[in-house]
Amino acid sequence: MKVLVACEFSGIVRDAFAAKGHDAWSCDLLPTERQGNHIQGNVLELLAEHSFDLMIAFPPCTYLCSSGLHWNARRPERERKTTEALMFVHYLLAAPVKRIALENPVGRISTAIRKPDQKIQPYYFGEDASKLTCLWLYGLPPLRPTKDVAPRIVNGKPRWSNQTDSGQNKLGPSEHRSTERARTFPGIANAMADQWG
């Protein structure tokens, strides 16, 4: 298949599909971190000019995820950016591609567009990490878990290796935090390639 991984600079999902023999391409405004088929630019322009059999999209979540939406009431310019981010999601979901998966955290997409088809955790796919992620699916089945990773128990509560004992993400505030958290866990990428490829 010809596969587009939209809004991916890491190459992790692209490479998982390429390893299965697919003609896989990533597209992002940022350059790719790994050698491979990558187009640095606007994915909407790419979709207008080329056809794909499958698109997996990772639109930026900065103005969409629940963890940041509380700022919109205090900073009105953020609500405009949330509206723009939702328009981008609409364009991705309306792309002329038969099979689409769109990934994002819990947030505004669920209330403004529709609820997700599936919520997954990295620990369903062999990763020692917790990060609840939503999937909106068109023409694709939900992902089947591949290997559960049990948490450690801290004060009676489950914790995975990417969390502090209080349950917070171990990545503190920094200029690189958003790109670090944007990378797809390899276990999830491999499940996508195995099951959707």
pLDDT digits (tens, 9 = 90+) for 139-186: 999 999 999 999 999 999 999 998 878 777 765 666 665 666 668 999
Q: Is residue 41 part of a domain?
A: yes
Please list the alpha-helical segments (H only) found in the chain. 12-19, 43-49, 66-69, 71-74, 76-93, 108-112, 177-182, 186-196
Q: In this structure, is residue 196 part of a structural domain?
A: no
pLDDT digits (tens, 9 = 90+) for 104-125: 998 889 999 999 999 999 999 9
Q: What is the CATH number of the domain that holds 105?
A: 3.40.50
Q: What is the pTM of this model?
A: 0.90
Give Dmax (Cα) for the chain: 54
108, part of any domain:
yes
